[in-house]
Amino acid sequence: MFFSAYFHYSPCYAFYDPAKIIENYFAFCLCHVYISNPRMKQVDNPIRVASARSGLSTHAIRVWERRYGAVKPKRTGTNRRLYSDVEIERLTLLRLATASGHSIGNIATLPLAKLKSLVSEAEPEGRRARPGSPAQSFHDACLQAVKALDDRQLGEQLQRALVALGQQGLLRQLVAPLAQRTGELWRAGVITAAHEHFLTAALKVFLGNVAGQFASSPIAPAIVIATPAGQLHELGAVIINAAAAQLGWRTTYLGASLPAAEIAGAAIQSKAVAVALSIVYPEDDPHLPHELISLKHFLPAEVKILSGGRAAAAYSEILTRIEAIQPTDLDAFSLQLDALRKAASGREVGVNTPFLSRTI
Ligand code: B12
């Protein structure tokens, strides 16, 4: 029931209806509790659900079961495999542990608690900060503070990291990997949704304050930052807001899940040069293409749309159609902002010019 309440939720409508927001919020929390609490009633899931939730291919699940006895799913009358939530959690932990270097043959039959501690200790390949580097020790200390729900400690570590790593270093080397890692630990059942919310809330406040320190000039180019309707993950937007502010842009931060008309209205009012959208999850929202086309339609032709986030590539066809600039990472985003700034400063300002009230 909670699943259906949650997944049938349409953020566009809920946006205007406080009762719906509260109802959906509780459905959402219960959904998280349900997933992370093994004592609650277990549901049997077909292999495609086990695959989607664990991040493993159906082929890998079958092989790990047959060769290594990693899980022992039930079978339906027609011999189809059925996986419990605990088995899916187990598969997820096995994926994360193998990604950090453990061999499946050695860990396939370990107890769940042992797998959790393996994953908790390991850093995923590719996102590992240099051992002993300042970013690594801030990362570990922040993670400890998140696990302990210690906001004072978390705030202190972020503040020190800001001084030691600088603004850009903070965003790239600490905040982004920390969000990634927290998501993985939550998915693996090592931490709960409360920890994830705790980190998001703390980062929003901290990065909001950091962005505020770069009080921009009133003649600086303006950018509006949001996530489109249906996109509830906000950290990507918070990160690019801080990055743009640091580059001297006048940022108008609108937060998560905003309908196209609202985003366009804010861009027109603030005479924005650009609108930046963060698209994180899901990758297959059937309503999002319509939102993006509407945004293009509502915006003055000169206003550029920039898009990014882990799910943005899934909408690249429609993003290309609306002529969105699609930077692949924060460095590319910064370069694009520099180019837009130059283009804007060279432009003739006319009555209908939707950006700069003066040239810079
Ligand atoms: C915090 C969080 C939540 C919070 C969000 C609260 C909030 N106010 O934002 C809550 C608890 C609500 C939540 C809910 C869910 N979440 Co969540 N969440 C996260 C977490 C930890 C951070 C999310 C985030 O904002 N990321 C944004 C940034 C930090 O990451 P990024 O997209 O990779 O962005 C980088 C770049 O792409 C770039 N970037 C981002 N945006 C832009 C924009 C531009 C223009 C540019 C240039 C660059 C750029 O900057 C970032 C830094 O480099 C992630 C973990 C993660 N790895 O991201 C999971 C994660 C996104 N969630 C996930 C899931 C599955 C869910 C739920 C379905 C859980 C559930 N079963 O209920 C729900 C879905 C809700 C919904 N309908 O959307 C999965 C998504 C898996 C997938 N298939 O993609 C993730 C990846 C966790 C995981 N490892 O499984 N979540």
pLDDT tens readout for residues 154-204:
999 999 999 898 888 898 889 988 998 898 888 888 899 999 999 999 999
pLDDT surpassing 50 at residue 113: yes
CATH number at residue 312: 3.40.50.280
Nearest atom within ligand 1 for CA of residue 280: 32
Choice among 127-136, 157-166, 268-277 with the minimum mean pLDDT = 127-136
- Number of domains present in the structure of the chain: 3
Residue 238: CB partners within 8 Å, gap ≥ 6? 203, 204, 207, 208, 253
Q: CA nearest 305: which of 264, 270, 335, 343?
A: 264
Q: Which residue has the higher pLDDT, 119 or 304?
A: 304
Q: How far is the CA of 119 from the centre of ligand 1 (A)?
A: 19
Q: What's the mean pLDDT in 198-216? A: 85
Burial class (CB within 10 angstroms; exposed 0-12, middle 13-18, buried 19+) of 302: middle
Which residue's CA is the nearest one to ligand 1's atom 59? 183
Model confidence at 54, pLDDT cuts 50, 70, 90, reads: confident
Choice among 77-81, 233-237, 354-358 with the minimum mean pLDDT = 354-358
Q: Which residue has the higher pLDDT, 54 or 237?
A: 237
Q: Considering the domain boundaries, does residue 128 fall inside one?
A: no
Q: Are residues 173 and 272 in the same domain?
A: no
Peptide bond into 282 cis (omega under 30): yes
Q: Are residues 267 and 171 in the same domain?
A: no
Domain C-terminal end among 157, 189, 209: 209
Nearest atom within ligand 1 for CA of residue 9: 77
Nearest atom within ligand 1 for CA of residue 307: 45
Q: How far is the CA of 183 from the centre of ligand 1 (A)?
A: 7
Nearest atom within ligand 1 for CA of residue 332: 47
Q: How far is the CA of 105 from the centre of ligand 1 (A)?
A: 31
pLDDT attached to residue 347 = 60
Total count of residues recorded for the chain: 360
- HSE of 70, CA atoms in CB hemisphere, 13 A: 29
Q: Are residues 14 and 65 in the same domain?
A: yes
Q: Which residue has the higher pLDDT, 58 or 9?
A: 58
Q: How far is the CA of 287 from the centre of ligand 1 (A)?
A: 18
pLDDT attached to residue 38 = 42
Q: Are residues 198 and 224 in the same domain?
A: no
Q: How far is the CA of 43 from the centre of ligand 1 (A)?
A: 25
Mutate to test the pocket of ligand 1, among 88, 142, 198, 233 (most ligand atoms within 8 A of CB): 233
CATH number at residue 148: 1.10.1240.10
Q: Are residues 258 and 198 in the same domain?
A: no
Ligand 1 neighbours, Cβ below 6 Å, are 31-32, 35, 176, 179-180, 182-184, 187, 193, 196-197, 200, 232-236, 239-240, 256, 276, 278, 280-281, 306-310, 327, 330, 333
Q: Which residue has the higher pLDDT, 170 or 39?
A: 170
Q: Are residues 341 and 223 in the same domain?
A: yes
pLDDT attached to residue 129 = 55
Q: Are residues 150 and 167 in the same domain?
A: yes
pLDDT attached to residue 331 = 86
Q: Are residues 115 and 8 in the same domain?
A: yes
CATH number at residue 81: 1.10.1660.10
Model confidence at 122, pLDDT cuts 50, 70, 90, reads: low
Domain C-terminal end among 60, 90, 119: 119
Most confident of the following: 26-30, 110-114, 132-136, 195-199: 195-199
Mutate to test the pocket of ligand 1, among 198, 205, 235 (most ligand atoms within 8 A of CB): 235
Q: How far is the CA of 69 from the centre of ligand 1 (A)?
A: 32
pLDDT attached to residue 189 = 83
Domain C-terminal end among 209, 231, 255: 209
Q: What are phi and psi of 43, to 5 degrees?
A: -115, 145
Q: Are residues 339 and 220 in the same domain?
A: yes
Q: Are residues 164 and 179 in the same domain?
A: yes
Q: How far is the CA of 290 from the centre of ligand 1 (A)?
A: 22
Choice among 14-28, 62-76, 307-321 with the minimum mean pLDDT = 14-28
Q: What's the mean pLDDT in 128-139? A: 74
pLDDT attached to residue 118 = 80
**What pTM was estimated for this model as a whole?**
0.71
pLDDT attached to residue 305 = 98
Residue listed under structure tokens 């030691």: 164
pLDDT attached to residue 226 = 97
Q: How far is the CA of 341 from the centre of ligand 1 (A)?
A: 29
Q: Are residues 83 and 62 in the same domain?
A: yes
Q: Considering the domain boundaries, does residue 126 fall inside one?
A: no
Q: What's the mean pLDDT in 91-99? A: 83
Mutate to test the pocket of ligand 1, among 88, 89, 280 (most ligand atoms within 8 A of CB): 280
Burial class (CB within 10 angstroms; exposed 0-12, middle 13-18, buried 19+) of 281: middle
Model confidence at 328, pLDDT cuts 50, 70, 90, reads: confident
Q: How far is the CA of 281 from the centre of ligand 1 (A)?
A: 6
Spell out the SS3 assignment of the chain: CHHHHHHCCCHHHHCCCHHHHHHHHHHHHHHHHHHHCCCCCCCCECHHHHHHHHCCCHHHHHHHHHHHCCCCCEECCCCCEEECHHHHHHHHHHHHHHHCCCCHHHHCCCCHHHHHHHHHHCCCCCCCCCCCCHHHHHHHHHHHHHHCCCHHHHHHHHHHHHHHHHHHHHHHHHHHHHHHHHHHHHHCCCCCHHHHHHHHHHHHHHHHHHHHHCCCCCCCCEEEEEEECCCCCCHHHHHHHHHHHHCCCEEEEEEEEECHHHHHHHHHHCCCCEEEEECCCCCCCCCHHHHHHHHHHHCCCCCEEEEECCCHHHHHHHHHHCCCECCCCHHHHHHHHHHHHHHHHCCCCCCCCCCCCCCC
Which residue's CA is the nearest one to ligand 1's atom 24? 235
For residue 333, the enclosing domain spans 216-345
Q: Are residues 281 and 160 in the same domain?
A: no
For strands 74-75 and 81-82, give the pairing: antiparallel
Q: Considering the domain boundaries, does residue 253 fall inside one?
A: yes
Burial class (CB within 10 angstroms; exposed 0-12, middle 13-18, buried 19+) of 213: exposed
